[in-house]
Amino acid sequence: MILATLLLSFQLLGRAEAFVQRSWDESYALANAKIAQMTVDEKVGILTGVGQFNSRCVGDTHPVDRLGIPSICFQDGPAGLRLVKGVTGFPSGINTASTFSRRLMRARGVALGEESRGKGVNVFLGPAMDIMRNPKAGRGWESFGPDPFLTGEGSYETIIGVQSTGVQACAKHFVANNQEHWRYGVTSNLDERTMWEVYGWPFLRSIDADVTSVMCAYNRVNGTSSCGNSDLLGPKGFLRENGFKGFVVSDWGATHDAAKDVANAGLEMEQPGDWIVIGGGDFNNLITGLKPAVKSGAVTTDRLNEMVGRVLAAFYHLGQDSGFPAVNFDAQHSDGSGSKNLHVSVRSDAHTALVREIASASAVLLKNNRTTFLPAAGAKETIRGLPITKSRIRTMAIIGQDAKMPNLSCNDLNECNDGTMSVGWGSGSNSLEFVVPPVDALMSENAGAATLATSLSNDLNAGANAARDKDVAFVFANAMSGELGFYSVVVGNMGDRNDLDLWFKGGSLIERVAAVCNNTIVVIHSVGPVVMPWSSHPNITAIVYAGAPGEMTGPSLVDVLYGRYNPRGRLPFSIADKEADFGTSIVYNSLSGFPEINYTEKLLLDYRYMDANGITPRFEFGFGLSYTTFAYSGPLSIASGASGTRAITFTVTNSGEVPGTEIAQLYLAFPAGAGEPQRVLRGFEEVPLGVGESRSVTIALGQRDMSIWDVVRHAWVVPPGTFTVTVGASINDVRLTGTF
């Protein structure tokens, strides 16, 4: 009997599709019925990848054709499908976080799921949920930033969206996987409370979202390999104790121990299946593999069956046994060649429009000195700053390598930075086959309206000459990062960034342009924080932090610059003046092999560290300007609900002259003695408002939101005492305060 059946439908490739989501009990019953008919070889095959170069996807399992069990296809990545043609280049995770919009987070998840399903992908390898412990972390842009609450909400909504299409999501990389240097064996040493309240928090939210799979990481946690760590994966480990029903798959080649050890520790599946790694991680072929371990009794039949059951139950849970499309691409021929590539496009106008909206919604307006300027008596006035008034602009310069079209054939991992940066490099990248760069969008917008000069390099003299005495000069600069390992070193950066500077002397280019143009508008594409010592220059009238926005980078930016889209993006991290202001560092060098990194900062990341140490950032967490203004009014109502929950209610009014969206943020200060940071993010809402319109906003605080992890009881506990609630437009822009 199906205990909980949910009929879900969605639009894919112009036709209606539907699937039946079964309860976990029903799914396990179906899985166990198949297991009863399987041989040991067939069971091992389901738990083992077919090999890095034998896969049609980035990872495949062995099918059991006689029982109707297909190969299960795993495919990168968190910003859109990789190594595949005919797909969309979505905005990165960090840009999605910048929207502070659950609506857009979920919509992006739905679109990622639709494209995955259309290509025949069973398991979407995302979302990435690694906390940005250090702003230079190479893969921080794949995830949602340094704040565990924001990362948790981004993860939750993405998983709900992806799995609503019948595609399995895979929460990764579990856990404390926070730098690329030494990633294959670095040890992350952290205490129990830090694990639960920071690095594990997003994974708790993924379980809340009913995620079907989790990927364990390359690194070690407190000395033990993540993929062989029973404290994380075992029956009484973090995942299972919190109700995780699905399966754990290794990162590709992350099984550092013998098959019997990782299997007994809680790992279900090894990918890609042919890697000979430390200790012998291949489940199938090595003497230390899974089959010999089962034959010898080192892994019991019950445990083997449990492993297979968890993989198959996830498959049945999302109805992938009926009507799921077959794989129609070949990741081994990412250029689209080969007989296995069927050239099915899953691009759509709806997905393109969504990419453009998220990119616009994630653009953070950091500075805007909008003024009316009279160059000389009788001359036509110029309006400086944003939005651009097209009729007032006679001459314009577009400057910087980041404005131009990148080399789309660089390679399938986007391991170059020779044009506008829409996404980082590595397995978290997407198939970069279509990009509209800023220069094209700006030139199209201003065709016939202004005299244009361009300098699409970072040559300092050429940039200054192009900008001299122009009505407006747009300067584009970027900073990039990505995955280490078997990927290229990009401009001397081995995954993690070397510093927080803009690449290719971007800061110097901005300063040179600002010296000759009194209406310099700076656009930054970056994977994370960059230092901005030039931000206060009087000739820099506006700064837009555009992040890594995906394929519609140009049109989405023009929408913001020309006022068709009122900026509402907020920083998902702080921008400070030096790396030391963040309180952590990347370990680049080690004289004794894989280093140990001690997470001595504990709960104090980013704004939490700055609060604790009296550091005022240049631009704080949650900051972002608008073309309108918003007023908050009380009283700040705090109502009690079931199980001690709270509902915080207040009013927001658009007090400006144009429609816009406010991002209302709630920060919680715990009672004295609770051992918490001074303030932590615990809620946010997007509030769209017309001119003069007011809206009542309610933000709920759940039990976990008000709890700390008690290391004595090993449980969430609400500490006694007075909590303080602040509501406002950023962590430092407090509008209303209340207590309970």
Contact 489, 188 (CB under 8 A): no
Whole-angstrom distance, CA of residue 318 vs CA of residue 321? 8
Strands 520-526 and 540-545: parallel
C-alpha 400 chain-centroid distance: 27
Query: E strand or H helix at 737, and its extent?
Result: strand 734-739
| Integer Cα distance of 46 and 67 in angstroms | 12
**Residue 169 bridge partners (DSSP):** 124
Which of 210, 251, 274, 471 does the annotation list as catalytic?
Answer: 251
Tokens of 12: 């894919």
Nearest residue to 215 (alpha-carbon basis) of 241, 243, 240, 251: 251
* Cα(265)–Cα(298) distance, integer angstroms: 12
d(CA 378, CA 382): 12
Q: Are 73 and 81 in contact (CB under 8 A)?
A: no
Q: Residue 10 is inside which H or E element, if any?
A: strand 6-12
Could you list the beta-strand ranges (E) of 150-250.
168-174, 187-189, 213-216, 220-221, 224-225, 247-250
Residue 364: strand pairing partners: 545
Token output for 122: 């069973």
* Assigned token pair, 428: 């978290």
Residues with Cβ within 8 Å of residue 274, at least 6 apart in sequence: 49, 51, 52, 53, 54, 282, 285
- 421 three-state secondary structure: coil
**Both tokens assigned to 445:** 């917008």
Catalytic annotation present for 251: yes
DSSP-derived 3-state class of residue 521: strand
Question: How far apart are alpha carbons 519 and 473 in whole angstroms?
Answer: 6
Q: What size, in residues, is the chain?
A: 740
Supply the residues annotated as catalytic: 251
